[in-house]
Structure 1
Amino acid sequence: MYKNIFKYDDMKRSEHMAVRTTVGWYFWTHQLLEISGPDVTAFLDYMYPNDITSLAVGRDRYTTMLDEQGEIIDDVVIMRMDKERYWVSTLYATKTDDWWYFHQGNFNVEWREITDEWEMYAVQGPKSRDLVESLVRDSVSNLKFFAHMDTEIDQMPCLINRSGFSGEKFGYEIYIHPENRDALEALIKPAAEKLGGKEVTEFQVMAWTLPTEANYYYMRDLAHTNPFETGLDKNINWKKEFIGKEALLEIREEGPTREMLGFEVPEPDIYIRSKQYGGPGEPVYLSGEEIGRVSKLVYSYMKDVNIGYILAQKGKLHVGDHIQIHGYEAVITEKNWMN
């Protein structure tokens, strides 16, 4: 009999719930590109559909990146460091570098990868502010969501960014130079334990269970979709020009043909293939008709049930509908399992 790789894993459960109930910390450096120049804001505003021009120094913005067909090819966080300098946090720096190079045109910008110059630690959960506050020289109590600041931890220069991939109201990212990594860990570990928290070591918790439970996407979930299908169209600034705009306008006019939906499978021990493991994902059936594919399947430790995303034909399914996936019964739900 197939055993659920999440439900019965006490380590995954304890690390996940530490983030939800107290605080969890983990090392997970995304790839970073630093881009600057006289035309840098205009260039990024053309590369990405979200509004970059209005982004203030010291603030961040999430946005997708699209190809000419309007399909999502990356999703990033853009951090404005100075008037003419930005950091772009991505998991695909090499692809982004190529994309920028082939679309630079006459924009006066230059960029370089700075991933090796920084290490990033996530500190997430209800007590994350208490943990970070106990470490930093300057208080983070007034730091807004998607804002960052320079400070020090035990005389080590660092950047604190109020952000995260867990869905928690309070979450921070600590950027520090690699030579200070061990010293920082030596401080974070006892500070977290004092608050009843712990280190998160399971990648599936960092990248799958925590974000999915809060309706956050991983880039693999978004591959070969457009913003209308995934509910990310609200982040588009239609008043400007950007790559993929013409295709998206056609989709907006005609309406998307697919949509990303949430689902639950009540039976605990299941075997359902999803796109996150490679391949197209298990077919989804309604009254014997295939209407979509499973994009992601994980586990909600908050709800103690299997959860995930389905990319289905638009308008075929509604919350509460019962469907069949690989012989199991599932139900369509909202895409948020935090409450």
Structure 2
Amino acid sequence: MTTAQLPASMKAWVIEEFNTPYRLQELPLPTIDDPNDILIRVEACSYCHTDAIVAAGTITPPKLPFIGCHEFAGKVVALPAGQESCHGYKLGDRVAVSGRGNHVCGKCRECTNSTETLPDPPGYSVYCSLSGIGLGCDRPGGFREYAIVDARQVGQIPEGLSPVDVAPLMCAGLTMYAALVKCDLRPGARVGIMGCGGGLGHLGLQFATKMGFKTTGVDVSPRALQLSRELDTGADIVDATNVTAADARKKMGSEDGWSLPSEMGLDAVLILPDTQKAFDYGVELVRDGGRVVVLSFPLEGYRISSRDLVLRRVRFEGSLIGSNRAMNDMFDFCLKHHVRAKITKYPFAKLNGLVDDYNSGQPGKLVIDMELDG
């Protein structure tokens, strides 16, 4: 390997048993075994709902012990042997790491002919089924001091954004940005975000309003609703505990000249909570012929009404994350429109405290800043 000055070992937070706190361990420094891989010193790592699912072992549980975190950022400190760069990245470059697209096959239908919005060039797809679920989900992630990452799945951190800024964008931000682009709406269209005060939702509010959409955010948590209103996006924020979907929908469209019940409502709604109640509320907000984009995946799935599907012609589709092309577009958008996550920072030593705060309903994004003293 071509390396900077590196230690022989590192600290890492490890899941030893599901539904138990992480344990801090001293582990050997990982080595580069693939010519597409680089070693980074992790500078920031963000906590996501998927991390909670992985730690609980409720969906495609990884083999234990396991290192989680699928949205992080850091500095390149080692390259494959004999290389001065790897896919354009050099020692010292700061890179952002998304949780998908690790060691793609390059040959499957998805890699060679992706149907994803803003697809990468043929030969690479973050949706390659042979690449597994991704870093922090079925292979070691970012809750450690050093991490091996596939240089093809990362993005250069641009001037104006820090590792702490970009870490929460690597799943939450990229997922929301790509889902909104997928809706293929013109400025002035009406968009709703169910779960607007969470990690994904509050970024979605910013993206949607700054894309020129008339945006409605919906939540039930008082802390999440407060955060949504503090963002100063101009979005209409609805407390779903006090306002029914039918009442909210009646107000959507009248100023545009629509009057029939079938004309009223949102052009598109993004579903972030994983409950049937939130799903039904969001579907009811959509106008006839509108679009519902689902970003959550409860184990029991969702029930879809045939009336909504056939008579109202509501279009349903899912969205998981965005491509590397979408990542770079998102960085440009964030810089131009000053989109940032509302972040609460923690030192590396306080990961379990971060998890406790997440489980108590702390809104926004919770991020480990490796520069903070613990």
- Normalised to the residue count of structure 1, the TM-score between the two structures is 0.27
Q: Return the structure number with greater relative CO, CA threshold 8 A, min gap 6.
A: 1
- Normalised to the residue count of structure 2, the TM-score between the two structures is 0.25
Higher strand share: 1
